[in-house]
A and B are shown apart, each in its own frame.
Chain A
């Protein structure tokens, strides 16, 4: 079945450090890929998305490129801030069983803590 695997956290970085959170997926079709962010006490918010191979999603300095050959969608940011501290979820949407029903599958989340 479809699945998403994320690197385990927590990830602790100093402010202005480079961030990479790895995400790989397994899907039988051609999924759309997403990164969601959850700030403390809040629901998940869409951070960025990509709908086909080689697409790059970007938002708020974060980027991720849809790599079909490596089935990956790694999240990167060149210089993190304290305000980026949150939990990041990788997700896919795929019509896995061709029933016309799409399922959204989320990874387990990676907690990021940025220190001043």
Chain B
């Protein structure tokens, strides 16, 4: 158990809908990362937060947004969903945003039908 908690574990939704994925980082970790894992594109970095502020952006679509709240949990919002958004979404956390080991949650499986 990495200490990173993600909910929901599985989610099935229709195209055009909006979903929210939730992540609670390890106790004491200030930095949160979101990744998308799909079969054809491997592990893609989406976005990183540190202590409530956005620190880095990767290949995140405009239909997706995220935030980190004062209690340090984070949410990833996916809207106007398309079939191609079906993937495993991982949250990870670390104490600080640099050079340290990052710890992954078990992921949220999103299926868009």
Contacts and interface: CB of A to CB of B under 8 A. Distances in A.
A and B found bound together? yes
Interface of A: 32, 34, 36, 41-46, 49, 51, 89, 93, 95, 100-109
Interface residues of B, number: 24
Given A41-B106, A102-B99, A104-B102, 9 more contacts: A32-B99, A34-B101, A46-B103, A89-B43, A93-B99, A93-B100, A103-B56, A104-B33, A108-B43
A101 B45 contact: no
Interface of B: 2, 4, 33, 35, 42-43, 45, 48, 55-56, 58, 90, 92, 97-107
Given A101-B48, A103-B48, A45 B43 contact: no
- Secondary structure of the A side of the interface? strand
Contacts of B43: 44, 89, 106, 108-109
